[in-house]
């Protein structure tokens, strides 16, 4: 009888344990149905797209340069930004040592060749009339990372009289526009401008961490 009683007791304990387990399972199912888990948190919003991409075509580069050629006012104060939806001015007057020239910003045209950027802008004076000057900048090719340097002609191509008076100013303004574009591209990414390069139809901007010099002199 002792063995039989032990077996009965063991069966009762097994049934009790199974009942408890089933009860807990049913309670969990009921809770899941009546108290679903909270939804996962929403994903973080994507970062806004950069205003200046890593690569620009001729149309985009034309727009960037024409806006940047506006320059500053005669007293050195930057031009006030135009209201939203208002197109930028199409013409500005440059003044240099009492001389004036009308710059037709809407005439700006860009050609990007392999290792070469050509920028044409119409200038106008009373003596020469309106005529284009073409600045050419030889830069590194795609993937060469030749830095932020370029070579150019002594004067832009076009009217000799106009180029001799305003050619160097135009070259400096166009190159400053390209450097400003490279700086703004890097600033958006919290980096430092490293290089610009040209291939057929595309200008590439490269930015990276600032270069530092170790105490031993190695970069």
Domain limits of the chain?
A: 1-30, 55-75+89-208
- pTM exceeding the 0.85 threshold for the entire prediction: no
> Each residue's pLDDT tens digit in the chain (219 positions)?
567 776 777 777 787 777 788 878 877 777 767 666 778 888 877 777 889 999 999 999 999 999 999 876 655 555 555 555 667 789 999 988 888 999 999 999 999 999 999 999 999 999 999 999 999 999 999 878 778 999 999 999 999 999 999 999 999 999 999 999 999 999 999 999 999 999 999 999 999 887 666 565 554
Q: What CATH architecture is 55-75+89-208?
A: Super Roll (3.15)
Question: Distance (Å, rounded) from C-alpha 122 to C-alpha 134?
Answer: 9
Q: Please tell me the predicted confidence (pLDDT) of residue 19.
A: 79
- Is residue 114 within 8 Å of 199, Cβ to Cβ? yes
């Amino acid at each position: 009888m002792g063995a039989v009683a032990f077996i009965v007791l063991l069966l009762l304990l097994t049934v009790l344990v199974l009942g408890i387990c089933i009860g807990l399972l049913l309670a969990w199912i009921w809770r899941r149905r009546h108290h679903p888990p909270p939804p996962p948190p929403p994903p973080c919003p994507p970062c806004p797209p950069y205003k200046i991409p890593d690569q620009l075509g001729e149309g985009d580069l034309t727009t960037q340069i024409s806006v940047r050629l506006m320059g500053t006012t005669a007293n050195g104060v930057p031009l006030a930004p135009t209201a939203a939806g208002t197109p930028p001015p199409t013409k500005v007057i440059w003044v240099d040592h009492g001389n004036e020239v009308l710059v037709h910003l809407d005439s700006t045209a860009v050609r990007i060749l392999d290792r070469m950027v050509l920028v044409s802008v119409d200038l106008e004076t009373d003596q020469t009339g309106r005529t284009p000057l073409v600045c050419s900048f030889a830069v590194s090719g795609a993937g060469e990372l030749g830095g932020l340097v370029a070579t150019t002609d002594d004067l832009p191509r076009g009217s000799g009289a106009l180029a001799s008076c305003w050619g160097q100013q135009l070259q400096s303004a166009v190159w400053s526009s390209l450097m400003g574009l490279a700086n703004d591209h890097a600033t958006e990414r919290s980096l430092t401008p490293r290089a610009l390069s040209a291939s057929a139809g595309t200008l590439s901007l490269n930015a990276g961490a600032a270069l530092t010099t170790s105490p031993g002199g190695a970069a």
